[in-house]
Amino acid sequence: MRQQPHARSRSGSWEQRKRLTAPSIGLRGAATQWRAAPTRDSRTSSRRFRGSSAARASTQSSSSTHASSVRSRRASCERSEPQRNERRALSRWPACFVEEIASIVEKAVPHVVICVPPLEALQIAFTGEGKEKWPAQLHDVLKARAMAHPVPMQYVLPSTYDPSKSRKQNAITKRQGQPQDEATRAWNLHTALYYKAGGYPWALVRDPGDLQTCFIGISFYWDGQEKLATSLAQVFNERGEGVIVRGGAAKLSAEDKQPYLVRDDAENLLREALAQYRKEHRHLPARVVIHKTSRFTDSEKDGFEAAADADGVDMIELVAVGRSATRFFTPRAAPPFRGTHVVLDERSQILYTTGSVPFYETYPGPYVPQPLGITLESSQLAARRHGLEILALTKLDWNHSRLEGHDPITTLAARSIGSILRHVGPNDPLGNRYAFYM
């Protein structure tokens, strides 16, 4: 990250607009100003309303019934005014960060911008009422709006840098949990920053004799207009480099209510993904593996295969990846080892991506591990090869530095990207790297 010099903002003085990467004291001051401004409006509006109500009451009927009605309306307005002020402050809260990012980028584009919301801002966001209440989507809304600028953003909560704030933060966000130890927090934060700044903490081990492969993850999400859309999450190569492509509208199956793509949409989606891959890497892969969180329909298979044929891809494989209801038990007082792979038949298999880890000499999770169910819809390679690849892809989540993850980055990224894309309009700028979404 490049350190930028302190500069005066375009709108307002330095005291009014602290830069985003400043310590929390400056941000706390800004949050107080956002909240205080509507309070002044509240007093003005309230006085205005009382004056106009008194005038109307004096010129109209003097009956007690009418006077009671005026007092009731006035009380109702005064009660609703703070709620409107909260909504105005809440709408302003993400915009302040985005404006500061624009100001920073104008001077020199940094590798990463760190946004540190103070507790006061979280209080506004999580207690707002009405249509514009963000709560859990606060992170997603801010990420979506910040994509107008070509720099990834790192969102840091107060408890990350000050564990003493965790109790109050949990009370505001209604989330319980103890803060991680300092070493874990440092590793997680700096691993994410390193990736967002353009580095790759680690990569998949590739046999030189293997075909050059890219992995594509697909899942579905509801956009802001509650219209089902598809998100083609990441187009990965073995190094972990990837691009993002947003798909079109999907349909719901009449039989099981699962979302799916018609043939033409599936073909267009994959062709666009391969075009973006070629633009980034200057070549096309010899093998494409598509991971999807639901079963592939016949129309999707036809569309994906048509796209692969049109672009000259030698091999395309379709793999459905989801949670399995099957569990295995061992004679030991511990769950199966991470990496346990059970082939049920030529199409179905079960893979434990979480479980006991020999290095830890225990199972590092709080709950009974749930394996992944893998279904080979169309495959030319052995089931073991797909199990090894999916297990390796669980280690490409650079949001943390753990040795294991439950989901492969292909499907994990699809879900996180979808939660952000629902706040991005159809004509709004879209980040093409996973770094903009994690």
84, containing H or E segment: helix 64-107
Give me the pLDDT at residue 166, please: 78
pTM of the model: 0.73
Residues, the chain, total? 438
Give me the pLDDT at residue 336, please: 93
Spatial separation of the C-alpha atoms in residues 265 and 278, rounded to whole Å: 20
Place of tokens 């692969």: 308
- The 10s digit of each residue's pLDDT in 361-385 is 888 887 889 999 999 999 999 999 9
Contact 155, 139 (CB under 8 A): yes
- The 10s digit of each residue's pLDDT in 338-347 is 999 999 998 9
Is the dihedral angle over the CA atoms 131, 135, 136, 141 positive or is it negative? positive
| Angle, CA of 246, 286 and 234, to the nearest 5° | 25
Question: How does residue 63 score in pLDDT terms, banded at 50, 70 and 90?
Answer: very low
Range 162-187 average pLDDT? 78
Q: For residue 59, how many other CB atoms are within 10 A of its CB?
A: 8
3-state secondary structure of 260: strand
| Angle, CA of 95, 82 and 57, to the nearest 5° | 135
Percent of the chain clearing pLDDT 70 (strictly above): 71
Contact 373, 328 (CB under 8 A): no
Give me the pLDDT at residue 127, please: 62
- The 10s digit of each residue's pLDDT in 251-299 is 877 777 778 888 999 999 999 999 988 888 888 999 999 999 888 999 9
Look at 123-127, 289-293, 348-352, 419-423 and tell me which has the smallest mean pLDDT: 123-127
Spatial separation of the C-alpha atoms in residues 155 and 139, rounded to whole Å: 7
Parts of the chain belonging to CATH 3.30.420.10: 213-436
Q: Token digits for 28? A: 């706390």
Spatial separation of the C-alpha atoms in residues 310 and 308, rounded to whole Å: 6
Give me the pLDDT at residue 177, please: 65
- The 10s digit of each residue's pLDDT in 302-355 is 999 999 999 999 999 999 999 998 889 888 888 999 999 999 998 999 999 999
Look at 95-99, 151-155, 236-240, 316-320 and tell me which has the smallest mean pLDDT: 236-240
Question: How does residue 135 score in pLDDT terms, banded at 50, 70 and 90?
Answer: very low
From the DSSP assignment, how many helices (H) and strands (E) are in the chain? 11, 12
Give me the pLDDT at residue 260, please: 86
Highest mean pLDDT: which of 63-67, 161-165, 175-179?
161-165
| pLDDT, mean over the chain | 75
Q: What single letter denotes the amino acid at residue 319?
A: V
pLDDT reading at 3 higher than 70: no
3-state secondary structure of 137: helix
Give me the pLDDT at residue 44, please: 39
Give the residue with greater pLDDT, 280 vs 190. Answer: 190
pLDDT reading at 428 higher than 90: no
Range 167-186 average pLDDT? 77
Look at 9-23, 116-130, 209-223 and tell me which has the smallest mean pLDDT: 9-23
- The 10s digit of each residue's pLDDT in 202-243 is 887 778 888 889 999 988 877 666 666 666 657 877 666 778
Look at 167-181, 353-367, 398-412, 413-427 and tell me which has the smallest mean pLDDT: 167-181
Range 123-127 average pLDDT? 68
Spatial neighbors of 83 by CB under 8 A, at least 6 apart, are 129, 130
Beta bridge partners of residue 378, listed in sequence order: 318
Look at 50-54, 171-175, 292-296, 370-374 and tell me which has the smallest mean pLDDT: 50-54
Architecture of domain 213-436: 2-Layer Sandwich (3.30)
